[in-house]
Structure 1
């Protein structure tokens, strides 16, 4: 069973989280019974965005205790060992994470990056990004609401490259039946859980007939077990064109690793940019919440101009995951109100407010 499928009290890794949130809702909890969550600030503006979440949580006394660990591939001397981070996430079951920058040079002489190592060791096979229009943010297409689901433990991100002869590099793209069927079932289960009507498989099976052909076949065969959900498939080229011209065609999309990374960022631009789209990565027993568009916005570091909306939405999803729905509703309602009113906006969504101004506006609306 997948992590999101099970009732929270049946998930071994988060059983204590469920019990703690129940205590809080009944008024029996104490300060010593907070939910522990791993916190990875990330690179670029990540620490500034995480700070906004901390301030908002503090303003309403959210019963979450962050175990903060700095992990970075561009500042290795300041970073904790990746094994320490993995152990923390395994222990806590939940994590709020900023985006990690990946330099062109390899991590510790390896082809595998820190992001890839975390995903592999925790088996975070399913990445879900929710593309949803925000009232008050004017874009070409309105009322968008669809999910992008990618398999993120194999495909082009398999870290299998070598130079066969000087000047010739071979890069292996790994597609397995086991993991293709797993992500396919995840996608259809996710669609069922969220009341969605259609799943679209994105592929390039017309060219990569064996690899993408296997992925497409696994998704198509899995679809037969879900007769209530419409299934269709689309080549990645056409998908990109349809996204920018007719994005309302999509409901739930499932695809291999690299295509998902590209589509996540393209689709984020349809609803206002990287600053407002949340994402999550699931394994069978833990989940990491991080912005859906992988952009560290390094050029804005220290300028106090980054939009914390995506990180705040991630924190809202985290609270819902541990059954702290009242706190999640308070934060989401305040965030929606501030953006809809349009009086306080960061530069990426047409305003001049600083990160601090935006955060304070949300805090002032936490009713």
Structure 2
């Protein structure tokens, strides 16, 4: 298969059942015969014993030196690596595709043709971890226009800061338009929807939507629409086939991308890639699945599809297409599916079936 001369990928398996999905994925990708070098930075509980820290400088150095990172999922031990990959490396665009494939256990009666991508802003909005006691807002003397009450006099409670910046909005919206343009070249509609709660949050969400309109002017070949986010949520469920690329602020993107995954068949099938100007990492959208850890039944599909995105990012386009096609073939056959998809196969069974199609 054609591609670059070689690439190095840092692997952070994470916790719970995530390492099982990562190990299965690495075995399948190894079967593609690519010039890939896997490196395993010391991260998590084991790193505390060997390096005195869950995310030592040695791990940061290996991740920064790699061409990309494949990440499992974290329940806390590997969170330092995740924070570095996300905020430290400024991977501002979280790309979460949802595409139905025959054999996926969708709850919809007619899921065929669903092929959309949610591009979630990954660094701002309410994900600043800036919260506090309402009483602390007294010096600001903030008065609500709805009922005239001052925020610090509402009673015992908490606040959170939501921040939307011009630069942060512009770069993620532009990422969405560039993606729509590439998808259009492959036969997709070439349409971008920007959604936010502009009617209730005209300053923050309104800014995000206005930036979307400004960026759209640079892409006359790409259609553009703006929706209030609750209207979009209805459209996502009622008419998902009409959607192509959707760009959302951080919180809405986090919530609604999980809803989109459910339309196709669940989080076990949902990949993601996080992109910055000079860094990228790839992880399944699901969590650590602690309840099934060690049972050998976690669905590795989301991680394998994340690996497809990883290979595309590294320039191994032929291999990415081969792996994607192999996953589709296994689901179309329906003989080696994990319990979340109505089957009885193990993680290893499904991975072996995929490997057989790419061998």
| Shorter-chain TM band | 0.7 to 0.9
* Uncovered stretches (5+) of structure 2, i.e. residues with no partner: 137-155
Give the Å deviation of 1:122: 0.3
Instruction: Confirm or deny that 1:184 pairs with 2:173.
Output: yes
TM-score by length of 2: 0.84
Which secondary structure state, in structure 1, belongs to the residue aligned with residue 226 of structure 2?
strand
Q: What SS does the corresponding residue of 1:365 show, helix, strand or coil?
A: helix
Mapped partners of 2:246, 2:209: distance in 1? 12
After superposing the two structures, state which structure 1 stretch, 339-348 or 234-243, moved more: 234-243
Q: Deviations over 1:250-301 (max 9, x none)?
A: 111001100000011110011011111211000111110111x242211110
Select between 261-270 and 326-335 the one with higher mean Cα deviation. 326-335
Paired position in structure 2 for 1:272: 265
**Residue 175, structure 1, aligned to residue 145, structure 2:** no
Q: Which residue of 1 aligns with 2:16?
A: 44
Structure 1 SS opposite 2:351:
helix
Q: Answer yes or no: is the 8 Å Cα contact 2:3–2:318 preserved in 1.
A: no
CA distance in 2, matches of 1:280, 1:45: 20
How far the C-alpha of 1:311 sits from its partner, in A, is 0.8
Alpha carbons 1:148, 1:264 under 8 Å: kept: yes
1:127 corresponds to 2:94:
yes
2:160 and 2:190 map into 1 onto residues whose CA distance is: 37
Unaligned runs of at least 5 residues, structure 1: 1-19, 24-33, 108-112
Displacement of 1:344 in angstroms is 1.1
Please report how far the alpha carbon of residue 38 of structure 1 lies from its aligned counterpart in structure 2 after TM superposition: 0.6
Structure 1: distance between partners of 2:308 and 2:90: 23
Please give the alpha-carbon distance, in whole angstroms, between the structure 2 residues aligned to 1:82 and 1:142: 46
Q: 1:283 aligns with which of 273, 276, 282?
A: 276
> For the Cα contact (< 8 Å) 1:86–1:118, is it kept in 2?
no
* Offset of residue 53 of structure 1: 1.4
Shift of 1:350: 1.3
> In 1, are the aligned partners of 2:93 and 2:121 still within 8 Å (CA)?
yes
Larger Rg: 2
Cα deviation per residue 1:305-351 (whole Å; 9 max; x = unaligned)? Answer: 11111111111222222222333333223222111111111111111
Task: Report if the CA contact (8 A) 1:46-1:296 is conserved.
Answer: yes
Using the alignment, how far apart are the partners of 1:58 and 1:251 within structure 2?
Answer: 32
**Structure 1: distance between partners of 2:328 and 2:92:** 31
CA-to-aligned-CA distance 1:154-189 (integer Å, 9 cap, x gap): 100011112243833221001111111111211112
Q: Is the aligned partner of 1:155 residue 2:144?
A: no
Who is 2:28 aligned against?
A: 56
Residues 227 and 159 (structure 1 numbering): CA distance in 2 closer, same or farther, change over 3 Å? same
C-alpha deviation, 1:87, in angstroms: 3.0
Q: What is the root-mean-square deviation of aligned Cα atoms in Å? A: 2.3
For residue 356 of structure 1, the aligned residue among 343, 348, 351 is: 348
Aligned equivalents of 1:209 and 1:75: distance in 2? Answer: 47
Aligned partner of 1:137 among 104, 129, 132: 104
Pick 1 or 2: higher relative contact order, CA cutoff 8 A, min separation 6: 2
Task: Give the aligned partner of residue 73 of structure 2.
Answer: 99
Corresponding residue to 1:327 among 297, 307, 319: 319
Tell me, yes or no, if structure 1 residue 307 matches structure 2 residue 299.
yes
User: Distance between the aligned counterparts of 1:261 and 1:83, measured in 2?
Assistant: 30
* TM-score in terms of structure 1 length: 0.83
> What residue is the counterpart of 2:334 in the other structure?
342
Report the number of matched residues: 328
1:89 deviates by 2.8
Question: 1:67 maps to which residue?
Answer: 39
Q: How far apart, in 2, do the equivalents of 1:184 and 1:54 lie?
A: 32
Query: Per the alignment, do residues 186 and 22 of structure 1 end up closer, same or farther by CA in structure 2, a change over 3 Å counting?
Result: closer
Partner of 1:80: 54
CA contact (8 A) 1:131 1:277 kept: yes
